[in-house]
Copies of this chain bind each other. A is one copy, B any other.
């Protein structure tokens, strides 16, 4: 579609298709990079230009490394002291609910952890093929992993009319239908939602946990956007915390794996491929299989493990770097909150576009009206109508977004996913361009 040499009606391609914060100009958190640089080149531990709290973190991480070097393999599960820091972080986050470092696995980004646990949980062929329930719309890692594992994808639909809420009746419908042709064992939740940006409330999480308990489903909670919550009245609740608050019948029985990452939040360190997974009530035999699987790949990248440590163990009040850290963190998060609101408001002013509130994460997933003439033309090109729309948008404006069909959507509805990561001024221009494009598109295919 993009022919080199042919003049385009725009001067710059704006990539709003992937949650890649630094590529869109977000600055790294200084403290995190200082610690990783100190670990990388320990001569810097003698440099007066690095703060003492960063040096302390670096020394502690290096003590956890063979030969005090980031260049050594670590245990497949990750460096002990970092897993301890992750456990402490989870306890603080969840108001004191206990977390055991033995249940923490450091991973190569969250994707690696999700693929690994799915691989372990999926087994059996024929009618006993494992069913994995995923939200629609979903993040395509899930559909790709399920298909790679030859498991069965079981769709449950989020309720667009109700801010993409997760409804347990819909879970039950999907489960009961799936039981006819597979063995549903896993229920995946993305909270805050990707691409849909909803933040689940406590009642909804309780309902989901009760449902998983009742139906003996393994809960897989993708919580990588836990620091990205913007809307008034919305709050992130971890599945782990609510599970414990529901009492021992639940927390002694429901199997849960939850995921976090260095890539999102206010750090946006995608390139480090850092992450962790916490497992609850995982059968010891399954745990053994998991460790065996992970050990084939030796260990997660050690600089990513170090980055993860700083995500869960940032400067605290009283430390030298605290003031700068908090300023940088709040600047990123306040900016994202502002852009979430701006995006929602601007989209909802465009005729033929409806956008739910961006309560969390870092994407808008607006519903777009595509006229039937455009749908016909798309079909003539053998393209999904929203793919056709997104290609036209790219060709005419240089704006790159992802068609809703890449995430799944209710039949006959059309969407696209757009990140809110461009800087505010650029985002405004981008939204104006989408508006102009959309109005012209409606006119053209009226």
Which A residues contact B (CB, under 8 angstroms)?
18, 20-26, 28, 33-34, 36-37, 40-41, 44, 47, 49, 65-67, 69-74, 108-109, 111-112, 115, 141, 144-145, 148, 267-273, 293, 296-304
Taking a contact as CB atoms under 8 Å apart, the answer to whether B298 and A70 are in contact is no
- Chain B residues near A41: list those with CB within 8 A: 33-34, 36-37
Check A108–B301 contact: CB distance below 8 A. Answer: yes
Look across to chain B and name the residue whose beta carbon is closest to the beta carbon of A271.
B302
Report the minimal beta-carbon distance from A245 to chain B, rounded to whole angstroms: 34
20 contacts between A and B (CB under 8 A): A22-B69, A23-B67, A23-B69, A23-B73, A24-B67, A28-B69, A37-B37, A37-B44, A47-B49, A65-B271, A69-B271, A108-B273, A109-B298, A111-B296, A111-B298, A144-B296, A272-B301, A273-B302, A301-B301, A301-B303
What CA separation (Å) do A24 and B24 show in the bound complex? 41
Chain B residue nearest to A50 (CB atoms) is: B41
Known A270-B71, A271-B70, A272-B71; contact A297-B112, beta-carbon cutoff 8 A: yes
Assembled-state Cα–Cα distance A409/B118 (Å): 34
Q: Please, how many angstroms separate the alpha-carbon atoms of A74 and B23 in the complex? A: 9
* Interchain CB contact (< 8 A) of A72 among B23, B109, B296, B302: B23
Chain B residues near A301: list those with CB within 8 A: 108, 271-273, 301, 303-304
The interface residues of chain B lying within 8 Å CB-to-CB of A293 are 148
B141 touches A71 (CB 8 A): no
Within the complex, the shortest CB–CB distance from A63 to chain B, in Å, comes to 13
Supply 12 further A-B pairs (C-beta < 8 A) apart from A37-B37, A270-B299. Answer: A22-B69, A22-B72, A23-B67, A26-B67, A37-B44, A72-B270, A108-B301, A111-B298, A115-B296, A145-B296, A271-B303, A301-B301
Give the CA-CA distance A269 to B108 in the complex, in Å. Answer: 17
Q: Are B20 and A66 in contact (CB under 8 A)?
A: yes
Expressed in whole angstroms, the minimum distance between the Cβ of A359 and any Cβ of chain B is: 25
What separation, in Å, do the CA atoms of A273 and B262 have in the docked complex?
A: 17
CB-CB nearest in chain B for A74: B271
Minimal Cβ-Cβ distance residue in B for A143: B296
Asked whether A73 and B303 contact (CB < 8 A) given A33-B40, A34-B41, the answer is no
Contacts of A270 in B (CB 8 A): 71-73, 298-299
Bound: A111/B108 CA distance, A: 14
Q: Could you say which residues of chain B place their CB within 8 Å of the CB of A40?
A: 33, 36-37, 40, 303
